[in-house]
Structure 1
């Protein structure tokens, strides 16, 4: 009998690139027992996903190479098995769910067919596979499973797609499930639901669960043990309680220090004048009302956080203000002038004062343009802001202002990390010296330390330049640290709004209370109390 269900011993993985050899994983060892949840914690580039890809035989060799080590499943070394043996194990005995389900679900097949395919690929008859797929869709909490089986991936929300991926992975009742960032960028309530679902399924099947994450809150909520990775090495391991309260390695302490939700809460300034006043903002798509009579003010130099689950209307409100979509009714007065009634020429002028930073800089930055072209493009659209002879000098100033270097101007977006790309997007937004920047989930997918750096940067810009922020987010600890006032939305309506301290310490609406209870805290003791509060609210 093997000592452990899964054991990784001395694993090293390297990649051969044009720039030389990259040692992605270096002499890594850990184990997983049946019924246990092991978290692998670390930021982008730490090697956590590469080590799990080696388990699933998902590393392309070349350019990848497993230089050394063993991966023992029930005592047998996976690295010594034939490809046919690995294929028989993958999916049936060892399964994996990925961070972005939309990228891993086939857009041209129904979800029912795709779930059934995982079963037929391992010998289940077609009719039996479809019946089992229907049961799985129901088990993971998708409403009306018969109708859901006939739908395509794009017809589901992000949380529902993740549930479908879980259904697909669990179809053959695997002994091990590897979950690679399964809750990143999901709403706090959906995140809590996904983690609870995994826990319930684990209790039913006794499977071992490997959770790959950069979120200390996920570790506190779900893990029995955790290993911390940095630069391809394991630097520390232990229980969530030990890691949080008795961290020994500087990298672990850095992650804990960077976790949001620990700073002093800000107080809105009395007597500040509104620069944006929205009244009765409404958006109707056919029979669906996405935004229903929303009214709020945004003051000069203030951060107004807009929180709520997917579909609450947060992003719709931002799009209406910027006239990226046309409102059905209402008004949005910018310095007294209604943005919704402006001519295209007037709106173009107003857009110089209102800029936006989107969630995914990979999608919002043109890959064919250099950083210099990206940052200077607003001056082409709005001539006269900066003299052309000063463009290179000004681009260098903006890049340094957001923590980059002047020589970065000649590079292209793919040559930067996610956090650096978001800084480039912020530099572009600053190029026109705006009064208001709308941030739509601008830090939700970033590593915790990079997220802390970007939030600190935005706070510095707010204090030094007097810029106001409309900060759309689902990450409540970040909102707690950064916002002056909070607006809570659900179903296209405002549930409540007020100063950040009042919303977090004395929420008046049950929906707000549920949102706060669903948030994850890096301290296991605090997280245990939140879980108990969440169970009481749902009872």
Structure 2
């Protein structure tokens, strides 16, 4: 018997690019034992996903190249196996679930066909594979399992697609499951359900789990041990609680220090006349009522966080406020004028006051435009804001304001990290000198330290410039640190609305309490108590 189920030793992975060789992984070593959960924690570019891809033989070569090291699974070096030998292991003994299941499920085949194919490719008889697919889909909690097998990936929610991906990965009862950021884009309650499902399945099968994440809360919830990676190297490893309590490396201490939800909550602002008053907003799509009588007030320099699960109406509300969609009824008074009834010419003039920062800057920034063009486009559309002679100077000022350098103006969006692209999106919004910015999940996909930097930037802009924010989020610790007031939505309705302190410390509604209980705390002891409380409540 091998000492460890999986043992990675001195792994180095390079990528050959036009700009030279990128050393993505450098001398990485770690191991996973049977029945154990190991978390690899690190930010974007740390090399954690590349390491997992090397285990699964998923690195494109070229441009990738495994420059050194070994990956021993059950005593055999995977890097020395033939392609046929690897196919006998991948899927059968080592399986993987990915961050975005929609990108990894084939859109033209039913999910049942895809789960069955996972088994028939390894020699399982088709009739047995069909019966096992039904059992697996039932086990992972998909409603109407028999009907679900006939559906296609787009017909499921994000959480359901992740459950289907888990069912597919477990079809051959693997010894090792690799989960690459499996809950990053999920609501807090769905995230808790998926992690609980992984723990239950691990207890049933005895498989080892290697989970890759940038979320300290996920590590606290599920991991026995943690490996911390930075710039392609392992900087710290140890038992989860020990690493959290006594981190030895400065990078680990920085990650723990950047975790949201531990700072001082905002004190309530002195009441003034609201700049935005929303009343009785209704929006239906056929029989489905996305918004059902939503209303709130927002003062200058105030942040209102809108929280709730997918389908609660948060993003629909954001689109209504910006008139990207039209409401069926309701009023949104902005400084005495109803946004919902303004004629096109008046609405065009008013758009400079109201800006939006979207969740994914990769999709909201034109890839064919430089940063200078992206930011100065606002002044092309509204030429009265700034004379052309000052454009370059002002772009440099805006880039400095969001923590970037003037020379970045000549680059294109793909030449920046995700956090930097989000900063560019914020700079573009600021170019209009707005009084209200709607942030729709603007920090949900960012690494914890980048997220902290962006939140600090938005909070500084709020204080210095008096900008009001409607901050749509499912990350409750971030909301706790940034918001003045919190509005909780469920199925198109407002179920609770109050100061951040009242909502977080004395929530009135069971749904709000359920959301808070499902949140993950980076402290393993706190998270263990929450887990025990959930289990006790379920009995």
| Shorter-normalised TM range | over 0.9
Compute the displacement of 1:383 (Å).
Answer: 2.0
Q: Which residue matches 1:13?
A: 13
Q: Matched residues in 2 for 1:164 and 1:97: separation?
A: 10
Q: Which residue matches 1:181?
A: 181
Kindly report structure 1 stretches of 4+ aligned residues shifted beyond 6 Å.
none
Compute the displacement of 1:441 (Å).
Answer: 0.4
Cα deviation code 1:79-123 (max 9, x no counterpart): 110011101110010000011111111112111111111111112
Q: Which residue matches 1:207?
A: 207
Return 5+ residue gaps in structure 2 as ranges: none
Q: Map 1:63-82 to 2 at 5 A.
A: 63-82=63-82
Give yes or no for the alignment of 1:477 onto 2:470.
no
Q: Matched residues in 2 for 1:348 and 1:90: separation?
A: 55
Equivalent position SS for 1:274 = coil
Compute the displacement of 1:401 (Å).
Answer: 0.7
Q: Matched residues in 2 for 1:488 and 1:149: separation?
A: 34
Q: Which residue matches 1:458?
A: 458
Q: Matched residues in 1 for 2:138 and 2:382: separation?
A: 53
Q: Matched residues in 2 for 1:401 and 1:31: separation?
A: 44
Q: Matched residues in 2 for 1:125 and 1:300: separation?
A: 66
Equivalent position SS for 1:173 = coil
Equivalent position SS for 1:183 = coil
Q: Which residue matches 1:402?
A: 402
Cα deviation code 1:152-184 (max 9, x no counterpart): 111111111111111111111100000000010
Q: Which residue matches 1:61?
A: 61
Compute the displacement of 1:449 (Å).
Answer: 0.3
Q: Which residue matches 2:258?
A: 258
Compute the displacement of 1:332 (Å).
Answer: 1.0
Normalising by structure 2, report the TM-score. 0.99
Does the 8 Å contact 1:514/1:534 carry over to 2?
A: no
Q: Which residue matches 1:528?
A: 528
Q: Matched residues in 2 for 1:299 and 1:250: separation?
A: 40
Q: Matched residues in 1 for 2:116 and 2:386: separation?
A: 59
Equivalent position SS for 2:10 = strand
Compute the displacement of 1:14 (Å).
Answer: 1.0
Q: Which residue matches 1:141?
A: 141
Return 5+ residue gaps in structure 1 as ranges: none
Cα deviation code 1:57-77 (max 9, x no counterpart): 001111111111111111011
Cα deviation code 1:268-304 (max 9, x no counterpart): 2122221111111111111111111111111111000
Q: Which residue matches 1:299?
A: 299
Cα deviation code 1:285-341 (max 9, x no counterpart): 111111111111111110000000000110111111111111111111111211111
Q: Map 1:160-171 to 2 at 5 A.
A: 160-171=160-171
Normalising by structure 1, report the TM-score. 0.99
Q: Which residue matches 2:84?
A: 84
Compute the displacement of 1:537 (Å).
Answer: 4.2
Does the 8 Å contact 1:514/1:537 carry over to 2?
A: no
Q: Which residue matches 1:348?
A: 348
Q: Map 1:26-425 to 2 at 5 A.
A: 26-425=26-425
Q: Matched residues in 1 for 2:120 and 2:351: separation?
A: 54
Q: Matched residues in 2 for 1:398 and 1:272: separation?
A: 29
Cα deviation code 1:234-257 (max 9, x no counterpart): 111111111111101000000000
Does the 8 Å contact 1:268/1:302 carry over to 2?
A: no
Compute the displacement of 1:538 (Å).
Answer: 4.0
Equivalent position SS for 2:247 = coil
Compute the displacement of 1:489 (Å).
Answer: 0.6
Q: Matched residues in 1 for 2:441 and 2:371: separation?
A: 22
Equivalent position SS for 2:198 = helix
Equivalent position SS for 2:203 = helix
Q: Matched residues in 2 for 1:205 and 1:448: separation?
A: 33
Q: Matched residues in 1 for 2:531 and 2:383: separation?
A: 54
